[in-house]
Amino acid sequence: MRKILLAGAAGCALLAAGCQTAVDTNQETAEAAPAAPTAADAERFLAETEAELTDFYEFSARTAWVQATYINFDTDWLLSRASARGTELAVELANATKKFEGVALTQEQERKMNRLRAGITIPAPSTPGAADELAEITTRLSSTYSTGKFEIGGDELNLDELSDIVEQSRDPEAIKTAWEGWRTVSPAMKADYVRMVEIANEGARELGFSDLAEMWLSNYDMPAADMEQEVERLWSEVEPLYEQLHCQVRAGLNDHYGDAVQPATGPIRADLLGNMWAQQWNNIYPIVGPQSEGPGYDLTEQLVKADYDPLKMVKTGEEFFSSIGLEPLPETFWERSQITRPEDREVVCHASAWDLDNVDDIRIKMCTEVNAEDFSTVHHELGHNYYQRAYNEQDLLFRDGAHDGFHEAIGDFIALSITPEYLQQIGLIETVPSASADIGLLYDRALEKIAFLPFGLMMDKWRWQVFRGETAPADYNSDWWALRTQYQGIMPPGERPADAFDPGAKYHIPGNTPYLRYFLSFVMQFQFHKAACDMAGWDGPLHRCSIYGNEEVGEKFNAMMEMGASQPWPDALEAFTGTRQMSAEPLVEYFAPLTAWLEEENEGRTCGW
């Protein structure tokens, strides 16, 4: 994930393009009406802005990197100050674009103005002190999350250790204890979060938006309301498949745990799904997967058997990108990345990809473990890095994804090519399972991809409600669970405390990372995959296609990435896929054999919740 922090203050030249003063003929000082700005003034403003931001992006990115990889009082302080300066600058520049409303701008100029105006994630108003307060709050939220611990049996456990219990244990009481324990970290965030929303909404209104929800939804080359409808359309295309998967998984959990723990009807207990946030369910495949239709191998076991370590996993990911013709990662990537969790300090372990100078100082930050999940995550994060490097010759304001869903989809599209054939090619398995194993392979992938979709959608739906004032602070937690039940069909393992703030137990809420990008990416990666497989001449089942070693696909893929954000996203999508509309049809095609199997398995069951 690329984290950009604007920092510093803008000079008069940036904020007063086209403004003049005049002295009247009577020698009395008088302030003349500002000269009407021109397209030339706009071009000068944008050039000076991009030059200013180039320096501040690098300064703030390096500050953020140090804080994320070495959390203490001093690095928190530095990040807070850099963030405050950056917010002030971002708001000033966004307000400065108002001068050019009504000026006949080129498409490129207009696009840059819009990115300055709507591209701030958490804006502060120009009120003195607001940016400082906002920065202190956001830094405190991030640090509270990253340093959170809960004691079990006399041992203080961090998120990784608590997650291991949720992922690996089959004792429902132990799982519940770890699940609830992690959520004792977040109630302390709530007051800060409430205040942050107040400040950010005020900042959004100052920039001309009704609230922060409209501002976030205005980053997709269409009106905010249209984008919200687009999201619902995409969800409607995949909802039937999710309901079938939910029905089968619930039946498996009921068989394993019994009615007293997981009833055969109604919502699923969230802590039983093998993930701290019930966002992906792969870890419970052994107890809910089709026992007679297994995938034929366990990738985690194969990685361990082949003596993979975290570095070798990243090297293997790089080799895939090299196989499709992309240049190897720079040596600085290997020197400066955080690939494993340091033992001597607190760090942000949430996996992310960084571009610290907007040129080629690209890195990943992970606490990598040798397992199938992190093997896939490595490919995902490297996708960000290759995208960042591909568009690094665009103007600064276009050095970004066509929209944020593109950035998230790139690496996951590559990871769809981690097929049995590919694993055999790189020596991780000896024999490719027969077609009879396809249901097991698809089921495992559905636990990762299909299970995620409603979670990816409801995360920002909750925030949109909060930003719009539809959800009051007193209802933060109850509305959170109402949405989780509505979209995911899950429920907490027990009654939640009155002071619970369960949204804060997910990194992207205190970290203020918009989440719609992930929902979109889980749809678009299958569009990319189908287009690439068609390009490669693949005529078999879509789920068996791998583009490993196909340089023709890589060349066209890189051409799309090089566009960055310079064109509206439909243009970028069309450049690689030939279509201009996001669609879940390739995803539905990919999982078609599984859908038929699920419908047969669920016959006679009461599906839904």
Where would I find the H helices in 450-550?
Answer: 452-467, 476-483, 516-535
Predicted local confidence at residue 32, as pLDDT: 60
Identify any residues that bridge with 490 across adjacent strands, giving them in sequence order: 268
Residue 226 in contact with residue 214, Cβ under 8 Å?
Answer: no
**Cα 217 versus chain centre, distance:** 15
User: φ and ψ at 526, to 5 degrees?
Assistant: -75, -30
Q: If 0-12 CB within 10 Å is exposed, 13-18 middle and 19+ buried, where does residue 331 land?
A: exposed
pLDDT band per the 50, 70, 90 thresholds, residue 452: very high
Bigger pLDDT: 368 or 292?
368
> In the predicted model, is pLDDT for residue 278 greater than 60?
yes
Closest Cα partner for 414 from 442, 444, 446, 377? Answer: 377
> In the predicted model, is pLDDT for residue 3 greater than 70?
no
For the chain, give every domain's residue range: 12-20+35-143+203-209, 211-308+316-326+395-493+514-609
User: Among this protein's residues, is 407 annotated catalytic?
Assistant: no
Percent above pLDDT 70 for the chain: 94
**Cα 370 versus chain centre, distance:** 22
Bigger pLDDT: 118 or 379?
379
Residue 378 in contact with residue 314, Cβ under 8 Å?
Answer: yes
Q: Tokens 């939220």, residue? A: 141
Catalytic choice (379, 380, 384, 508): 508
Average of per-residue pLDDT across 454-469: 98
Predicted local confidence at residue 573, as pLDDT: 97
Predicted local confidence at residue 11, as pLDDT: 31
Q: What is the Cα gyration radius of the chain?
A: 25
Q: Of the given ranges (35-39, 282-286, 561-565), which has the lowest mean pLDDT?
A: 35-39
Predicted local confidence at residue 433, as pLDDT: 84
Please report, for residues 184, 316, 337, 391, 559, the alpha-carbon distance to residue 329 in angstroms, rounded to integers and kept in the order given: 40, 12, 11, 15, 18
CA-based torsion, 514, 515, 517, 520: positive or negative: negative
Cα separation, 469 vs 463, whole angstroms: 10
Q: What is the DSSP letter of 338?
A: B
Predicted local confidence at residue 20, as pLDDT: 30
> In the predicted model, is pLDDT for residue 7 greater than 80?
no
Q: Tokens 């996951």, residue? A: 412
Q: Of the given ranges (95-99, 223-227, 305-309, 389-393), which has the lowest mean pLDDT?
A: 95-99
User: Among this protein's residues, is 381 annotated catalytic?
Assistant: yes
Q: What is the DSSP string of 524-589?
A: HHHHHHHHHHHHTT--S-GGG---TT-HHHHHHHHHHHHTTTSS-HHHHHHHHHS-SS--SHHHHH
Closest Cα partner for 201 from 217, 213, 192? Answer: 213
Predicted local confidence at residue 294, as pLDDT: 66
pLDDT band per the 50, 70, 90 thresholds, residue 437: confident
pLDDT tens-digit readout, 542-556:
999 999 999 999 999
> In the predicted model, is pLDDT for residue 426 greater than 60?
yes
pLDDT band per the 50, 70, 90 thresholds, residue 373: confident
Average of per-residue pLDDT across 350-362: 94
Catalytic choice (318, 381, 408, 448): 381
Average of per-residue pLDDT across 429-452: 90
Cα separation, 355 vs 332, whole angstroms: 12
Predicted local confidence at residue 293, as pLDDT: 67
